[in-house]
Amino acid sequence: MSIGPSLYIAVVVVAVVAAVIVVVVVVVVVVVVIVVVVVVVSSSTSSSSSSSSSSSSSSSSSSSSSSSCSSKAGEAVVAVAVLEVVAVVLVIIVVVVTASAAVVVAVVVVVVVVVVVVVVVVVVVVVVVVVVVLVPVVVEVVVVVTVVLVMIVAGVG
């Protein structure tokens, strides 16, 4: 394989696509974290300000906000995956047009490795956010439901 302009073009294309993928992933993760934190903070403040008579309704709103958080995180992961597939297809098209077969194989391998690493990082970050942020909400819902059930059984409510 001769090292010519096509190799340099392929390397530049891979570097640009990798940088774009990293930026997109960072933006998506930051947006997901902000949405999850805002929803959790708003649900926890509303449930803490509610009285014991409306505890069951606040617990249901907390659980629905938890499920909406997890669905938003899932949507973010799907969006990142779609963007990565589009980026890989564009890179393959550009490299096939401008480079030799050996360069195409090398660039495709590099892009696949970058995509796999980015997907793993996104999944780990989303799992950490879900565990760290949503577990306290689930615990709060369980506590509120338990208190309501105890009050009903005891005849206080």
Higher pLDDT, 139 or 94: 139
Evaluate if pTM is beyond 0.75: no
What confidence tens digit (pLDDT) does each residue in 12-30 have? 777 677 667 766 766 676 6
Q: What confidence score (pLDDT) does residue 100 get?
A: 66
Question: Distances from the Cα of 59 to the Cαs of 64, 70, 126, 150, in angstroms?
Answer: 9, 17, 24, 15
Q: What confidence score (pLDDT) does residue 53 get?
A: 44
What is the helix (H) or strand (E) element at residue 7, kind and residue range?
Answer: helix 5-49
User: Is there a contact between 10 and 103 (Cβ–Cβ < 8 Å)?
Assistant: yes
Domain interval for residue 34: 5-154
Number of domains making up the chain: 1
- The pLDDT of 76-92, averaged and rounded, is 68
